[in-house]
Structure 1
Amino acid sequence: MALIRWEPFRDIERLEPFREIDTLQRQMNRLFERLMPTDGAERMGFAFIPAAEIEEKEDAIHLKLEVPGLESKDITVEATPDAIVISGERKSETTTEEGGVTRSEFRYGRFQREIPLPCQIQNEKVQAEYKNGILRLTLPKAESERQKVVKVNVG
């Protein structure tokens, strides 16, 4: 088998596949930009939407939110019997460097996330703990939800 040196830009006919790849890459980038959940949030004035994890137990719902880089005073939690609204703001730390360029991929600004709950809760008894960038909420179920018995018809 002979080795042949590959010169993709030797003549114009060989450039066409690379133009198609470039076009495809631009189209994929636009698609991902539209699908990113934070993109819409930024247009509405929000910096990011924190990731959440919810677990339903017999007596309570446990909710975890990932909100790193904040202090507990920067987070607001509002509870209704049907939903939880978490909001806050990550403040920018402005630094000035002389003769250099600063590039930041951190997202600063306000955020808000409303999470509908699978059942009614006792919103006056919600407990919150914030540690290491994770907000943990314990949402006790309403008495009517705990005592709820549903009869299931078989056949």
Structure 2
Amino acid sequence: MDKLAELKQGLEETWHSLGEGWRQLRDRASEALTRFTPVNRSRNSLEDAHSPPALASNWGLLAGDLYEDGEQIIIRLEVPGMVKDDLDLEVRGDVLIVRGEKRVEQERGHGRYRVRQCTFGSFRRSFALPAPVIAEKAKARCGNGVLRIELPKEARARGRRIEVRSG
């Protein structure tokens, strides 16, 4: 009976661990899940003549990080295959909006796609900013598949240390 109890406990721990892993994955990916809208819906631009349309996905992950320190907010967004001309940035109120287009890259030849997980088309991602920023002084650069945006905080958002004097 002890072996059965150990097996039951092991299965319960495994089930809990799997459930927790999926929960964490869902929570982390929910912000990164991005809808891509095909720019050209013509058959030649999205899939070859031998590839079923169902294999082309309109959803993909654009993973990003938002980091805040006392002076600025830094956002890093993975944008594989894109260059600066593919991207458009805008600060609207307390939201950073990133728009872009990932262009179709496909193999030419006589083969056919069996798996198609790469997404292409135009997209829009929004990041809620945790503090007011000076949009006019923002800097952005794109290299090695990563977009880095630096947004200086407004002076009132930075806070100010107040020295306490005696007497």
**Consecutive unaligned residues in structure 1, runs of 5 or more:** 1-34, 151-155
Give the secondary-structure state (helix, strand or coil) at the position aligned to 2:136: helix
2:159 pairs with 1:130: no
Corresponding residue number in structure 2 for 1:8:
none
User: 1: CA distance between counterparts of 2:34 and 2:87?
Assistant: 21
User: 1: CA distance between counterparts of 2:157 and 2:33?
Assistant: 37
Residue number among 136, 142, 156 corresponding to 1:144 in the alignment? 156
User: 2: CA distance between counterparts of 1:59 and 1:132?
Assistant: 26
2:112 pairs with 1:101: yes
User: 2: CA distance between counterparts of 1:78 and 1:134?
Assistant: 17
**Consecutive unaligned residues in structure 2, runs of 5 or more:** 1-25, 39-57, 163-167
Equivalent pair of 1:76/1:87 in contact (CA under 8 Å): yes
Q: Considering only aligned residues, what root-mean-square deviation do their CA atoms show, in Å?
A: 2.9
2:118 pairs with 1:88: no
Question: Which structure 2 residues correspond to residues 38-53 of structure 1 after superposition, within 5 A?
Answer: 41=35, 47-53=59-65
Residues 60-110 of structure 1 deviation map (CA, whole Å, 9 limit, x = unaligned): 111111111111100111113411000101111244322x22343211111
Equivalent pair of 1:49/1:111 in contact (CA under 8 Å): no
Taking every aligned residue pair, what percent have the same amino acid on both sides? Answer: 28
User: 2: CA distance between counterparts of 1:40 and 1:58?
Assistant: 30
Give the secondary-structure state (helix, strand or coil) at the position aligned to 1:63: strand
| Change beyond 3 A, Cα 1:92–1:40 | closer
User: 2: CA distance between counterparts of 1:40 and 1:51?
Assistant: 9
Equivalent pair of 2:83/2:143 in contact (CA under 8 Å): no
Higher alpha-carbon Rg: 1
Equivalent pair of 1:47/1:110 in contact (CA under 8 Å): no
Q: What amino acid sits opposite 1:133 in the alignment?
A: G
TM-score (norm 2): 0.59
Q: What amino acid sits opposite 2:112 in the alignment?
A: V
Corresponding residue number in structure 1 for 2:87:
75
Question: Which structure 2 residues correspond to residues 59-70 of structure 1 after superposition, within 5 A?
Answer: 59-70=71-82
Q: What amino acid sits opposite 1:127 in the alignment?
A: K
TM-score (norm 1): 0.63
